[in-house]
Each structure stands twice: as C-alpha cells, then as structure tokens.
Amino acid sequence: MLGLGVSWSLLDVAAAAPKDPAAARPTPGDQLVFVLGDRKGQVVKVEDLALGGPQELAYPMDPATKVVRDATRLNQVLLIRLDPAELKPDARANAAEGVVAYSAICTHQGCDVSQWKPDSKMLLCVCHGSEYDPRDRAKVTFGPAPRRLAMLPVKTEGGVLVVAGPFKGKVGFMDL
C-alpha cells in the first residue's frame, strides 16, 4: 500500500508548505512568549529576564492575532539578558537593552539549548553538552556542535521584546 515512494514524498513536501501562521518563521513585529513554567504564554519583557542569565525559552507570537508560532520546535528561541558591555559588536548589533535571542535548536542533533552553565556562563545543549557563547553570536566553545546558533534580531517597544528581523544563520541541524 506504500509502494509509491518518490511521488508520495513530493506530494508530502507540497502539502507541508506552511500556510499555517503558527508554523511560520518569526516575523518582524512578533512579540515573544514564555514556553515553560508559571509564565507560560505570557509576553516577555526585558525586566522579566534575570540579568546575567540563565536563558529563557520563548516562541514568537503575532501580536495582532495572538497566534503563537509553536507549531514547529524550529521556532523555539532562547532569550538571555546580559550586560551590553559584554556583548561582541556582532551580537550587540542584534540585541536590545542587552537581550540577545538565538535559535534554541542545537546545530548538532537538534536538541534544546535549554541549559545554562553557571561557572563558564555558557549556553548548554541538553543532549551532548555543546556550549555556545551568548556574548559572541553563539559561537561554539565546546562539544560536537558544528556551527553557531542562528541569531534572531530583537528590539524593544515599551519594554516588550519584539522581533526585529528574520533569523541570521541556519536554523536546525545537518541531516542526511
């Protein structure tokens, strides 16, 4: 019943083209909402983020329709608030009030970059321990990840974090 390999795959790809706003990539003007904990679904403001880390996970949300773009994990971003003086110029250019946003999908095997290493102040992948420097455009500092995390430019509007542009860099990981 499943012998139609290649033609089926083409149909599948076409059908998967995201018309669904919840599956669309982060769009300039989107706000960001918490993924976890008591504040789940709440819009993220700069003051909600602890200065110096750890990071918080967030999904983009269309502020007009209130659609949260959580239909794909690839939209999951991490937000961390740092001293702007610590940020390298490339990171600072896409930051707002010290807050930087990166894709939370590890470039190694696609796991969540949801952990924080307090001693070295690095972002940490939950699966195989890859570490990324949030101050330096999420450069890989340790572990098997082959490249840095994509950066999501942000700005603030009345203290609320807002997406300022599309991802810079490739989201996701290498597969076959």
Partner 1 sequence: MMKATKALPICSALLAGCLSAAATYGAGYTPVTDARLANPEPGNWLMTRGNYQGWSYSSLDQINTGNVKRLVPVWAVATGVNSGLQAPPLVNNGMMFVGTPSAQVLALDARNGNVIWRYKRELPDDFSALHNTNRGVALYGDKVYVMGLEPVLIALDAKTGNVVWEQKLEDYHTGYYSTMAPLIVKGKVLAGVSGGEFGVRGFVAAFDAETGTPAWKTYTIPGPGDPGGNTWPSDTWKRGGGATWMTGTYDPDTNLVFWGVGNASPWFGDQRPGDNLYTASTIALDPSTGAIRGHFQYHWNDSWDWDEMNAPMVVDYKMGGKTVKGLLKPARNGYLYWLSRSAPAGGGSVIGFVHATNYVKQDVFKSIDPNTGRPTYNDDKKPGTGKKASFCPSLWGGKDWPFESYNPKTGMVYIPANENHCGFLDGKVQEYVPGKWWTGVDIPDIGFTVNKDATFFGDVQAWDVSGGKKVWDWKVPKSMMWGSILSTAGGLVFVGGTNDRKFRALDGKTGQVLWEFITNSGIIAPPVSYTLDGKQYIAVASGWGVDAQFQQGLLSNLLPGWDKSIPEGGVIWAFAVQ
- CB of 70 or CB of 97, closer to partner 1: 70
CB of 114 closer than 8 Å to CB of 56: no
- CB of 117 or CB of 168, closer to partner 1: 117
The two structure tokens encoding residue 47: 């003051």
Chain residues in the site for partner 1 (CB under 8 A): 1-3, 5-6, 8-9, 12-13, 35-37, 72-74, 105-106, 109-112, 114-119, 124-129, 142-144, 172-176
Angle formed at CA 30 by CA 28 and CA 33, multiple of 5 degrees: 145
Q: Tokens 């590890």 belong to which residue?
A: 106
Which residues make Cβ contacts (< 8 Å) with residue 85, sequence separation at least 6? Answer: none
Least CB distance to partner 1 at residue 6 (A): 5
Least CB distance to partner 1 at residue 136 (A): 19
- CB of 92 or CB of 117, closer to partner 1: 117
